[in-house]
Amino acid sequence: EAAVTQSPRNKVAVTGGKVTLSCNQTNNHNNMYWYRQDTGHGLRLIHYSYGAGSTEKGDIPDGYKASRPSQENFSLILELATPSQTSVYFCASGDRGERLFFGHGTKLSVL
């Protein structure tokens, strides 16, 4: 079973602070994704990557940056966190056309 590990599992941040969410996958998948899940909105795509060194904007990239330094790691960065970014964030990995494997999620609260 493919493993996707997110850290931290829970995070409380202050408005204006910097937040980094990390994701690691051990199955050599080319593609990695960051989504946020909010009631009434389902999962919305923030950024994705199709390989080391690549990042692409998803549907709601504003206020977020992404970094893919290696095949295994994909980070989501909030340079200036805002309360509207309070959400549950999911990382996923997979190959094109195949199922995505999800991490357990990171619950972020921005106060």
Partner 1 sequence: AQSVTQPDARVTVSEGASLQLRCKYSYSGTPYLFWYVQYPRQGLQLLLKYYSGDPVVQGVNGFEAEFIKSNSSFHLRKASVHWSDSAVYFCASGTNAYKVIFGKGTHLHVLP
Closer residue to partner 1 (CB): 18 or 41: 41
Q: Does 71 bind partner 1 (CB under 8 A)?
A: no
> From the list 41, 69, 83, 111, which residue makes contact with partner 1 (rule: CB under 8 A)?
41
Stretch in the footprint of partner 1 (CB under 8 A) among 9-17, 63-71, 72-80, 89-97: 89-97
> Residues with Cβ < 8 Å from 80, sequence gap 6 or more?
16, 17, 18, 63
The radius of gyration of the chain's CA atoms, rounded to the nearest angstrom, is: 13
Q: How far apart are CA 21 and CA 99, in angstroms?
A: 23
> From the list 90, 106, 108, 110, which residue makes contact with partner 1 (rule: CB under 8 A)?
90
Q: Does 31 bind partner 1 (CB under 8 A)?
A: yes
CB 92 within 8 A of CB 5: no
Positions touching partner 1 (CB under 8 A) are: 31, 33, 35, 40-45, 48, 50, 56, 58-59, 90, 92, 94, 96-100, 102-105
